[in-house]
Amino acid sequence: MTRGDAPPKHGSTRKRLLTGAAAAGAGLVLPGATGSALASVFRAPKKSGALYVDLELESPSFNPLLNNYQHLRWVTDQVNETMYVYQGAKIVPLLADGMPKVIDQLNAQVKVKSGIKFNNGHPLTAADVAATFNAARGGVAAAIWKSHLQPLASVTAIDSHTVHFTFKQPWGLLLEKMADIPIVPASAVNVNEKLPGTGPFIFENHVQGQSVTLAANPHYRLGAPKLSQIVFRFVPDAGTRTVNILSGQTHVSPAIPYPNVTQLAKNHKLNVYDVPAPVDLLFWISSQAVPDVRARQALAYAIDRKAVVDTVFGGHAEIGQGPIGPAILGYQYTTKPYGPKPDLTKAKSLLQAAGGGSLSFDYISTTDQVSQTMAQIIAQNWQALGVNVNLQFLELAAWQNSWLSGNWGATCITSLDGVAVGPSPFIATATIQSTNFLDLEKFKDPQVDQDLANAYVTPNGPRQWKYYADASNRSATEVGQLPPAFPNFCVATSKKVHGLPTKPLTQGKLNFYPVSLA
């Protein structure tokens, strides 16, 4: 309409105009409003190549040096790679150029592959590797990695592609530590998120309390991934995660509740992967609270391991016979002193031989369903033996404080250690070493200490695994760390998810590089 024209005469025309304008405005505004991070994250997955993964917890940091829990590593492993990786029991180069060169017992060198770049375009150099390891052994990440790298004296970049490692003592674990610790740029060792990486995905966005989004790295050296995006959503409630995977709201649900595994496996829209993995059930009976080994053995014989496997893990677990489980290197050398059912006769006679009397101690457990249920079963088993068990359920932070205080008789926590250390027995056996500050159960056995010391100076291979296994077997009979079961790693995926590699699952790892969506 021009200025000289008369205004519309009909109210209905104006009404239609206003209605149309309102509709157009709503059409512009509403998608914007619903395109907010909150709403878009919780829409049903689109067919755009974006993979949705539900995680139980949000990590406080997305720097893999500062935290090594699975909830973090499932995200950062898509972005930051390691120098070496496990392929089954073998460790092979990834960012490294060949195997380490051993100069002498206290020195070794590793070459970095040429031509690899971080996703910000900067080349990967030896300086980045040195900075990563120095941060881990004594810098910002020492709280997590120092105990893994104690024998490491120094790490230096002697040229752009050569890293020199010096040890305080002969050390055989360098190769496996280089398979554990992801490499970050030297300039980003203490950055919490959006770290550049050499991996197939780029850290794109993090919405606190909602999700973290990774975008495909089009310049990844092995070719761009098939997925355009991965959206990791934080869904703390196990029931909600199960509903999400059943209803198609999410594509991947790692660590699904064990009681639901069988039901989900029967669903024709889902694939359920149920594999032994290094899911460590760190279960300790305190040598301080129960100093007589016969009393500890009595407690061990009184545990109904089959009930733990069937009731707590829905049958998706193996009976435990020591710290080393079926997915951990060295398992083939483990002995099996304990049966699936409790042997109360033997337990009572051992308790009698230990002097009879009444045992009484605290069993502290975290409040998650697995730990609570297991604690109730084991406490009941011990009460049948005449032991007075005071069960305490504590939130994680309170549990950690209590655990560190050492004022308990028995305790347990679950840890998907394979994500951080692959199938290495290092973490599973660390706490039975009397010189390790994490030996809070005060277990002390010279033979175990010797076996572990031998393992640490022996390179990765059957000889090393045998030392670990001997330590584990001794821990089982002397009752230091003695988990009743080793749960499987159970992952549910939509049938639209293709190409998920299953080998990494045996380490509790998720590799989304080859994955595509139907």
HSE, CB side, 13 Å, CA atoms: give it for residue 361. Answer: 23
Q: What is the 3-state secondary structure (H, E, C) of 326-380?
A: CCCCCHHHCCCCCCCCCCHHHHHHHHHHCCCCCCEEEEEEECCHHHHHHHHHHHH
Pick between residue 371 and residue 475 the one whose CB is nearest to other proteins: 371
Q: How far is the CB of 304 from other proteins (least distance, A)?
A: 9
* C-alpha to C-alpha distance for 171 and 334, rounded to whole angstroms: 24
HSE, CB side, 13 Å, CA atoms: give it for residue 101. Answer: 10
Stretch that binds other proteins, among 327-335, 392-400, 466-474, 489-497 (CB under 8 A): 392-400
Pick between residue 249 and residue 373 the one whose CB is nearest to other proteins: 373
Among 267, 372, 434, 454, binds other proteins (CB under 8 A): 372
> CA–CA distance from 242 to each of 211, 232, 259, 265, 269 (Å)?
18, 15, 11, 12, 13
Stretch that binds other proteins, among 1-9, 125-133, 241-249, 431-439 (CB under 8 A): 241-249
Among 376, 434, 450, 516, binds other proteins (CB under 8 A): 376
- Dihedrals phi, psi of 77, to nearest 5 degrees: -65, -20
- Dihedrals phi, psi of 201, to nearest 5 degrees: -125, 155
Burial label, 466 (beta-carbon count in 10 A; 0-12, 13-18, 19+): middle
Pick between residue 139 and residue 406 the one whose CB is nearest to other proteins: 406
Q: Which of 357, 316, 325, 332 is nearest to 428 (CA)?
A: 325
Residue 310 binds other proteins, judged by CB under 8 A: yes
Site string for other proteins, 340-369 (x = CB under 8 A): ---------------------------x-x
Pick between residue 192 and residue 263 the one whose CB is nearest to other proteins: 263
Tokens of 136: 């881990």
Pick between residue 387 and residue 421 the one whose CB is nearest to other proteins: 387
**Residues 155-194 within binding reach of other proteins (CB under 8 A):** none
Q: How far is the CB of 134 from other proteins (least distance, A)?
A: 38
Pick between residue 391 and residue 438 the one whose CB is nearest to other proteins: 391
Strand order in the sheet with 162-167: 101-104, 107-111, 162-167, 152-159
Pick between residue 13 and residue 390 the one whose CB is nearest to other proteins: 390
Pick between residue 388 and residue 435 the one whose CB is nearest to other proteins: 388
Residue 311 binds other proteins, judged by CB under 8 A: yes
Stretch that binds other proteins, among 195-203, 210-218, 240-248, 319-327 (CB under 8 A): 240-248
H/E run at residue 52 = strand 50-55
Q: How far is the CB of 261 from other proteins (least distance, A)?
A: 11
User: What is the longest distance spanned by two Cα atoms in the chain?
Assistant: 111
**Residues 243-272 within binding reach of other proteins (CB under 8 A):** 243, 246, 257, 259-260, 263
- Dihedrals phi, psi of 154, to nearest 5 degrees: -160, 155
Q: Which of 19, 1, 20, 22 is nearest to 9 (CA)?
A: 1
Residue 307 binds other proteins, judged by CB under 8 A: yes
Query: Which residues form the interface with other proteins (CB under 8 A)?
Result: 238-239, 242-243, 246, 257, 259-260, 263, 307, 310-311, 367, 369, 372-373, 376-377, 379-380, 390-395, 398
